[in-house]
Amino acid sequence: MSDWTPSQHELDRRRLRRRLRTRSALIATAMTVVVFVVVGLVVTGSPGWPSVQALFFSWDDAREALPDIWDAIWLNIKMFLIAEAIILPLAMLIALARVSRSPWLAPLRVTAIVWTDVIRGIPTILLVYLLAFGVPALQLQGLPNSAYVWATVALIISYSAYVAEVFRSGIESVHPSQWASAQALGLTRGQTLRHVVVPQGVRRVVPPLLNDFVSLQKDTALASAAGVFEAVFVARDYGNYNFNYTPLVVVSCFFIVMTVPLARLCDWLTARMRRRELAGAL
Protein backbone atom coordinates (compact mmCIF):
# COMPACT_ATOMS: atom_id res chain seq x y z
CA MET A 1 0.00 0.00 0.00
CA SER A 2 2.81 2.39 0.83
CA ASP A 3 5.00 1.80 -2.21
CA TRP A 4 2.23 2.69 -4.67
CA THR A 5 2.89 5.79 -6.65
CA PRO A 6 0.48 7.22 -9.17
CA SER A 7 1.38 6.57 -12.75
CA GLN A 8 2.49 9.36 -15.02
CA HIS A 9 -0.92 9.09 -16.63
CA GLU A 10 -2.70 9.62 -13.31
CA LEU A 11 -0.47 12.58 -12.45
CA ASP A 12 -1.23 14.19 -15.79
CA ARG A 13 -4.89 13.58 -15.20
CA ARG A 14 -4.72 15.26 -11.79
CA ARG A 15 -2.84 18.22 -13.16
CA LEU A 16 -5.38 18.64 -15.91
CA ARG A 17 -8.25 18.46 -13.43
CA ARG A 18 -6.58 21.03 -11.21
CA ARG A 19 -6.06 23.35 -14.13
CA LEU A 20 -9.66 22.98 -15.22
CA ARG A 21 -10.88 23.65 -11.68
CA THR A 22 -8.80 26.81 -11.38
CA ARG A 23 -9.97 27.90 -14.78
CA SER A 24 -13.64 27.48 -14.01
CA ALA A 25 -13.24 29.22 -10.66
CA LEU A 26 -11.57 32.13 -12.44
CA ILE A 27 -14.25 32.29 -15.10
CA ALA A 28 -17.00 32.14 -12.48
CA THR A 29 -15.42 34.93 -10.44
CA ALA A 30 -14.66 37.13 -13.41
CA MET A 31 -18.10 36.57 -14.90
CA THR A 32 -19.86 37.37 -11.62
CA VAL A 33 -17.79 40.48 -11.00
CA VAL A 34 -18.22 41.73 -14.56
CA VAL A 35 -21.99 41.21 -14.61
CA PHE A 36 -22.64 42.82 -11.23
CA VAL A 37 -20.20 45.68 -11.85
CA VAL A 38 -21.81 46.37 -15.24
CA VAL A 39 -25.31 46.25 -13.74
CA GLY A 40 -24.19 48.46 -10.86
CA LEU A 41 -22.50 50.98 -13.13
CA VAL A 42 -25.45 51.15 -15.48
CA VAL A 43 -27.87 51.72 -12.60
CA THR A 44 -25.78 54.26 -10.69
CA GLY A 45 -24.56 55.90 -13.89
CA SER A 46 -28.04 56.38 -15.30
CA PRO A 47 -29.13 60.01 -15.55
CA GLY A 48 -32.05 59.55 -13.17
CA TRP A 49 -30.05 57.77 -10.47
CA PRO A 50 -29.55 60.80 -8.15
CA SER A 51 -33.31 61.37 -7.91
CA VAL A 52 -33.99 57.65 -7.47
CA GLN A 53 -31.35 57.50 -4.78
CA ALA A 54 -32.79 60.53 -3.00
CA LEU A 55 -36.30 59.10 -3.10
CA PHE A 56 -35.59 55.44 -2.29
CA PHE A 57 -32.25 55.32 -0.49
CA SER A 58 -32.06 58.44 1.63
CA TRP A 59 -30.17 57.78 4.82
CA ASP A 60 -31.79 60.68 6.70
CA ASP A 61 -35.31 59.56 5.92
CA ALA A 62 -34.47 55.98 6.83
CA ARG A 63 -33.20 57.09 10.22
CA GLU A 64 -36.16 59.34 10.83
CA ALA A 65 -38.77 56.70 9.97
CA LEU A 66 -37.00 53.84 11.73
CA PRO A 67 -38.41 54.23 15.29
CA ASP A 68 -42.01 54.29 14.07
CA ILE A 69 -41.44 51.31 11.79
CA TRP A 70 -39.73 49.43 14.60
CA ASP A 71 -42.80 49.95 16.81
CA ALA A 72 -45.23 49.04 14.06
CA ILE A 73 -43.44 45.90 12.87
CA TRP A 74 -44.41 44.19 16.15
CA LEU A 75 -48.01 44.54 15.05
CA ASN A 76 -47.17 42.61 11.87
CA ILE A 77 -45.20 40.00 13.78
CA LYS A 78 -48.00 39.44 16.28
CA MET A 79 -50.51 39.27 13.47
CA PHE A 80 -48.70 36.65 11.40
CA LEU A 81 -47.63 34.53 14.37
CA ILE A 82 -51.18 34.33 15.72
CA ALA A 83 -52.58 33.76 12.24
CA GLU A 84 -50.07 31.05 11.34
CA ALA A 85 -50.71 29.19 14.60
CA ILE A 86 -54.39 28.97 13.69
CA ILE A 87 -53.92 28.50 9.95
CA LEU A 88 -51.80 25.33 10.19
CA PRO A 89 -54.25 23.18 12.23
CA LEU A 90 -57.29 24.64 10.46
CA ALA A 91 -55.81 23.97 7.04
CA MET A 92 -54.89 20.43 8.07
CA LEU A 93 -58.49 19.80 9.15
CA ILE A 94 -59.77 21.11 5.82
CA ALA A 95 -57.28 18.92 3.94
CA LEU A 96 -58.27 15.86 5.98
CA ALA A 97 -61.94 16.60 5.32
CA ARG A 98 -61.18 16.69 1.61
CA VAL A 99 -59.37 13.35 1.55
CA SER A 100 -61.94 11.61 3.76
CA ARG A 101 -63.88 8.75 2.16
CA SER A 102 -66.59 7.98 4.71
CA PRO A 103 -70.14 8.66 3.45
CA TRP A 104 -70.96 10.07 6.90
CA LEU A 105 -68.48 12.86 6.34
CA ALA A 106 -69.87 13.90 2.95
CA PRO A 107 -71.17 17.28 4.24
CA LEU A 108 -67.72 18.08 5.65
CA ARG A 109 -66.12 17.09 2.37
CA VAL A 110 -68.45 19.37 0.40
CA THR A 111 -67.83 22.25 2.82
CA ALA A 112 -64.08 21.83 2.49
CA ILE A 113 -64.23 21.80 -1.31
CA VAL A 114 -66.48 24.85 -1.48
CA TRP A 115 -64.32 26.65 1.12
CA THR A 116 -61.07 26.19 -0.81
CA ASP A 117 -62.70 26.99 -4.15
CA VAL A 118 -64.50 30.11 -3.04
CA ILE A 119 -61.99 31.57 -0.62
CA ARG A 120 -59.10 31.26 -3.03
CA GLY A 121 -61.14 33.11 -5.62
CA ILE A 122 -61.76 36.11 -3.37
CA PRO A 123 -59.07 38.81 -3.33
CA THR A 124 -57.66 38.91 0.22
CA ILE A 125 -58.13 42.67 0.38
CA LEU A 126 -61.87 42.20 -0.11
CA LEU A 127 -61.95 39.73 2.78
CA VAL A 128 -60.17 42.33 4.91
CA TYR A 129 -62.73 45.00 3.98
CA LEU A 130 -65.64 42.63 4.40
CA LEU A 131 -64.64 41.47 7.87
CA ALA A 132 -62.97 44.57 9.32
CA PHE A 133 -65.67 46.99 8.15
CA GLY A 134 -68.58 44.63 7.52
CA VAL A 135 -68.73 42.64 10.76
CA PRO A 136 -68.61 45.67 13.10
CA ALA A 137 -71.30 47.27 10.93
CA LEU A 138 -73.63 44.37 11.87
CA GLN A 139 -73.58 45.85 15.39
CA LEU A 140 -73.85 42.47 17.07
CA GLN A 141 -73.33 42.30 20.80
CA GLY A 142 -70.27 40.49 22.05
CA LEU A 143 -68.29 40.55 18.82
CA PRO A 144 -65.04 42.52 18.89
CA ASN A 145 -65.06 45.79 17.00
CA SER A 146 -61.38 46.07 16.35
CA ALA A 147 -60.19 46.24 12.76
CA TYR A 148 -56.97 44.54 13.84
CA VAL A 149 -58.79 41.42 15.07
CA TRP A 150 -60.95 41.14 11.98
CA ALA A 151 -58.10 41.78 9.57
CA THR A 152 -56.24 38.89 11.23
CA VAL A 153 -59.33 36.71 10.88
CA ALA A 154 -59.51 37.61 7.20
CA LEU A 155 -55.89 36.51 6.72
CA ILE A 156 -56.60 33.26 8.56
CA ILE A 157 -59.58 32.51 6.35
CA SER A 158 -57.75 33.35 3.16
CA TYR A 159 -54.56 31.45 3.94
CA SER A 160 -56.30 28.40 5.42
CA ALA A 161 -57.64 27.69 1.94
CA TYR A 162 -54.23 27.90 0.29
CA VAL A 163 -52.44 25.94 2.98
CA ALA A 164 -55.16 23.25 2.99
CA GLU A 165 -54.43 22.60 -0.67
CA VAL A 166 -50.71 22.39 0.08
CA PHE A 167 -51.40 19.80 2.79
CA ARG A 168 -53.72 17.88 0.48
CA SER A 169 -51.09 17.73 -2.25
CA GLY A 170 -48.65 16.40 0.35
CA ILE A 171 -51.08 13.75 1.54
CA GLU A 172 -51.95 12.67 -1.98
CA SER A 173 -48.30 12.49 -2.99
CA VAL A 174 -47.74 9.60 -0.58
CA HIS A 175 -47.55 6.43 -2.64
CA PRO A 176 -50.59 4.08 -2.50
CA SER A 177 -48.29 1.28 -1.43
CA GLN A 178 -47.96 3.05 1.90
CA TRP A 179 -51.74 2.85 2.37
CA ALA A 180 -51.73 -0.79 1.32
CA SER A 181 -48.88 -1.73 3.65
CA ALA A 182 -50.50 0.05 6.58
CA GLN A 183 -53.77 -1.70 5.96
CA ALA A 184 -51.98 -5.01 5.62
CA LEU A 185 -50.59 -4.36 9.09
CA GLY A 186 -54.15 -3.97 10.33
CA LEU A 187 -54.30 -0.20 10.69
CA THR A 188 -57.65 1.49 10.14
CA ARG A 189 -57.95 4.30 7.60
CA GLY A 190 -57.79 6.87 10.39
CA GLN A 191 -54.72 5.29 11.94
CA THR A 192 -53.06 5.04 8.53
CA LEU A 193 -53.59 8.75 7.99
CA ARG A 194 -52.42 9.66 11.47
CA HIS A 195 -49.31 7.48 11.68
CA VAL A 196 -48.24 6.79 8.11
CA VAL A 197 -49.55 9.17 5.47
CA VAL A 198 -49.82 12.59 7.12
CA PRO A 199 -46.30 12.59 8.64
CA GLN A 200 -44.75 11.75 5.27
CA GLY A 201 -47.03 14.11 3.40
CA VAL A 202 -46.28 17.07 5.67
CA ARG A 203 -42.54 16.54 5.37
CA ARG A 204 -42.76 16.81 1.62
CA VAL A 205 -44.60 20.11 1.66
CA VAL A 206 -42.43 22.02 4.12
CA PRO A 207 -40.92 24.25 1.40
CA PRO A 208 -44.29 25.33 -0.05
CA LEU A 209 -45.60 25.79 3.50
CA LEU A 210 -42.75 28.19 4.13
CA ASN A 211 -43.67 29.92 0.88
CA ASP A 212 -47.16 30.57 2.17
CA PHE A 213 -45.87 31.65 5.56
CA VAL A 214 -43.53 34.23 4.05
CA SER A 215 -46.32 35.38 1.79
CA LEU A 216 -48.57 35.71 4.85
CA GLN A 217 -45.96 37.86 6.59
CA LYS A 218 -46.11 40.38 3.82
CA ASP A 219 -49.87 40.18 3.38
CA THR A 220 -50.28 41.47 6.93
CA ALA A 221 -49.82 44.81 5.14
CA LEU A 222 -53.32 44.34 3.69
CA ALA A 223 -54.70 45.10 7.15
CA SER A 224 -53.85 48.72 6.40
CA ALA A 225 -56.92 48.82 4.15
CA ALA A 226 -59.02 48.78 7.32
CA GLY A 227 -56.93 51.40 9.09
CA VAL A 228 -54.56 49.07 10.95
CA PHE A 229 -51.37 51.11 11.24
CA GLU A 230 -48.88 48.34 10.53
CA ALA A 231 -45.30 48.76 9.31
CA VAL A 232 -45.89 49.09 5.57
CA PHE A 233 -48.64 51.63 6.18
CA VAL A 234 -46.40 53.55 8.57
CA ALA A 235 -43.81 53.68 5.81
CA ARG A 236 -46.32 54.81 3.23
CA ASP A 237 -47.74 57.38 5.62
CA TYR A 238 -44.27 58.83 6.13
CA GLY A 239 -43.83 58.86 2.36
CA ASN A 240 -47.12 60.61 1.81
CA TYR A 241 -46.03 63.47 4.05
CA ASN A 242 -42.44 63.79 3.01
CA PHE A 243 -42.72 62.54 -0.54
CA ASN A 244 -40.08 59.87 0.01
CA TYR A 245 -40.16 56.11 -0.49
CA THR A 246 -37.13 55.21 1.65
CA PRO A 247 -39.17 53.88 4.61
CA LEU A 248 -40.61 51.20 2.33
CA VAL A 249 -37.09 49.99 1.65
CA VAL A 250 -36.49 49.95 5.41
CA VAL A 251 -39.61 47.83 5.94
CA SER A 252 -38.56 45.35 3.26
CA CYS A 253 -35.20 45.01 5.03
CA PHE A 254 -37.12 44.03 8.16
CA PHE A 255 -39.08 41.41 6.23
CA ILE A 256 -35.93 40.04 4.62
CA VAL A 257 -34.25 39.76 8.01
CA MET A 258 -37.24 37.79 9.27
CA THR A 259 -37.50 35.56 6.21
CA VAL A 260 -33.94 34.47 5.55
CA PRO A 261 -33.27 32.72 8.91
CA LEU A 262 -36.65 31.02 8.58
CA ALA A 263 -35.73 29.72 5.14
CA ARG A 264 -32.43 28.34 6.46
CA LEU A 265 -34.25 26.73 9.40
CA CYS A 266 -36.68 25.04 7.05
CA ASP A 267 -33.86 23.79 4.83
CA TRP A 268 -32.16 22.35 7.87
CA LEU A 269 -35.40 20.73 9.11
CA THR A 270 -36.14 19.10 5.76
CA ALA A 271 -32.56 17.87 5.47
CA ARG A 272 -32.79 16.34 8.95
CA MET A 273 -36.10 14.69 8.26
CA ARG A 274 -34.77 13.30 4.99
CA ARG A 275 -31.74 11.84 6.77
CA ARG A 276 -34.01 10.16 9.29
CA GLU A 277 -36.39 8.87 6.66
CA LEU A 278 -33.55 7.32 4.69
CA ALA A 279 -32.01 6.03 7.94
CA GLY A 280 -28.58 5.65 6.41
CA ALA A 281 -29.85 3.83 3.34
CA LEU A 282 -28.19 6.28 1.00
Partner 1 sequence: MRIRRALAAAAVLPLAVAVAACAPESDDSSSTASDPEGSSSTSASADACATDQLPLRTAGQLTVGTDSPAYEPWFVDNDPSNGKGFESAVAYAVADKLGFSADQVTWVKVPFNKSYAPGPKDFDFDINQISITPQRAEVVDFSDGYYSAAQAVIALKGSKGAEAASLDDLKSLRLGAQTGTTSLTAIRDIIQPETDPVVFEDTNGAKQALQNDQVDAILADLPTAFYISAVEIPKSVIVGQFQPETGEQEEFGMLFEKGSGLVDCVNQALAAMREDGSLDAIEKQWLSDTVGVPELQ
Q: Which residues bind partner 1 (CB under 8 A)?
A: 31, 35, 38-39, 42-43, 45-48, 51-52, 54-56, 133, 136-137, 145-147, 224-227, 229, 233, 236-237, 239-245
Cβ proximity to partner 1, 25 vs 114, nearer residue: 25
Closest among 209, 202, 142, 140 to 174, alpha carbons compared: 202
Give the integer Cα–Cα distance in Å for 168 and 201.
Answer: 8
Cβ proximity to partner 1, 177 vs 240, nearer residue: 240
Q: What angle do CA 122, 226, 90 make, to 5 degrees?
A: 50
Cβ proximity to partner 1, 183 vs 252, nearer residue: 252
Q: How far is the CB of 149 from partner 1 (least distance, A)?
A: 11
Q: How far is the CB of 23 from partner 1 (least distance, A)?
A: 11
Cβ proximity to partner 1, 119 vs 147, nearer residue: 147
Residue 99: alpha-carbon gap to chain centroid:
24
Closest among 201, 99, 115 to 156, alpha carbons compared: 115
Give the integer Cα–Cα distance in Å for 179 and 183.
Answer: 6
Q: How far is the CB of 20 from partner 1 (least distance, A)?
A: 11
Give the integer Cα–Cα distance in Å for 42 and 71.
Answer: 37
Distances (CA, A) of 195 to 49, 178, 192: 58, 11, 5
Q: How far is the CB of 32 from partner 1 (least distance, A)?
A: 9
Cβ proximity to partner 1, 179 vs 229, nearer residue: 229
Q: How far is the CB of 138 from partner 1 (least distance, A)?
A: 9
